């Protein structure tokens, strides 16, 4: 979950989806040729999903786009996120890497309009290095493009990524007071498990 400052006494809710009970939607055969990631989900017209470009120039552009989407979607942050904040996340979190940061692009705009990130975790780290669970972070859609199915497509793309890597469960944390966000996840089959903390 993006680190939007939580109001005092905010309740953080943990949500889960068991991918065994609801395996990611498989694409109809006609969408498999040629197999484009976005085509697998029948996303909104022309929408494509990709990870960040790892070339020097591409990465610069994608980080700017990522910051812009985050700052627009989380406008009530006390201050906008800057490149240094992104660099700090890179430094502090071993999963926060361009290859785990996904972007949604629409032909309507020359820049990406949505972000999401995937952290793969092992449920039994002492026994195995196999990733068995996925965690969603940093989901955000440019407010001008919300309610067009972009957020849903990003989450479904991540679910398929988890499934293909052997992860059977996907989790996330959000604030219970963000009812539009919990409603969004519920509409995709996520269930609220428990409240994690009562005090920030």
Ligand X SMILES: CC(C)(COP(=O)(O)OP(=O)(O)OC[C@H]1O[C@@H](n2cnc3c(N)ncnc32)[C@H](O)[C@@H]1OP(=O)(O)O)[C@@H](O)C(=O)NCCC(=O)NCCS
**Calpha distance 58→50 (Å, rounded):** 12
x/- contact string, 132-171, with ligand X (CB under 6 A)? -------xxx----xxxxxxx-------------------
x/- contact string, 40-79, with ligand X (CB under 6 A)? ---------------------------------xx-----
- Interface positions, 72-91, toward ligand X (CB under 6 A): 73-74
**182 contacts 9 by C-beta, under 8 angstroms:** no
Considering the rule CB under 6 A, would residue 35 count as an interface residue with ligand X? no
CA distances, 163 to each of 103, 133, 158 (Å): 19, 9, 9
The partner residues of 96 in beta bridges, in order of sequence, read none
Considering the rule CB under 6 A, would residue 184 count as an interface residue with ligand X? yes
The partner residues of 172 in beta bridges, in order of sequence, read 15
Q: How far is the CB of 108 from ligand X (least distance, A)?
A: 14
Judged on CB neighbours under 10 Å (0-12, 13-18, 19+), 190 is buried
Considering the rule CB under 6 A, would residue 128 count as an interface residue with ligand X? no
Number of amino acids touching ligand X (CB under 6 A): 21
Compute and round to an integer the Cα radius of gyration of the chain: 17
Q: How far is the CB of 138 from ligand X (least distance, A)?
A: 8
Output 19 or 141, the one with its CB closest to ligand X: 141
Output 60 or 179, the one with its CB closest to ligand X: 179
Report H helices in the chain: 56-73, 83-92, 150-164, 179-187
Output 3 or 83, the one with its CB closest to ligand X: 3
Of 97, 130, 95, 101, residue with least CA distance to 114: 101
Residue numbers at the binding site for ligand X (CB under 6 A): 1-2, 73-74, 139-141, 146-152, 174, 178, 180-181, 183-184, 187
């Amino acid at each position: 979950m993006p680190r939007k400052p939580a109001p005092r006494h905010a309740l953080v809710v943990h949500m889960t989806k068991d991918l065994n009970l609801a395996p990611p939607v498989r694409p109809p055969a006609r969408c498999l040729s040629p197999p484009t990631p976005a085509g697998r989900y029948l996303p909104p017209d022309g929408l494509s999903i990709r990870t960040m470009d790892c070339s020097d120039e591409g990465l610069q552009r994608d980080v700017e786009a990522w910051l812009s989407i985050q700052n627009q979607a989380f406008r009530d942050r006390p201050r906008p996120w800057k490149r240094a904040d992104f660099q700090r996340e890179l430094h502090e979190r071993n999963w926060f890497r361009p290859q785990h940061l996904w972007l949604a692009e629409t032909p309507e705009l020359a820049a990406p309009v949505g972000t999401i990130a995937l952290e793969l975790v092992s449920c039994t780290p002492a026994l195995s290095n196999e990733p068995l669970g996925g965690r969603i972070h940093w989901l955000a859609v440019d407010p001008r493009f919300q309610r067009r199915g972009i957020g849903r497509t990003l989450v479904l793309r991540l679910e398929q990524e988890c499934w293909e890597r052997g992860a059977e469960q996907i989790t996330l944390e959000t604030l219970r007071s963000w009812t539009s966000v919990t409603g969004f996840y519920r509409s995709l089959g996520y269930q609220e498990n428990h409240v994690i903390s009562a005090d920030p």
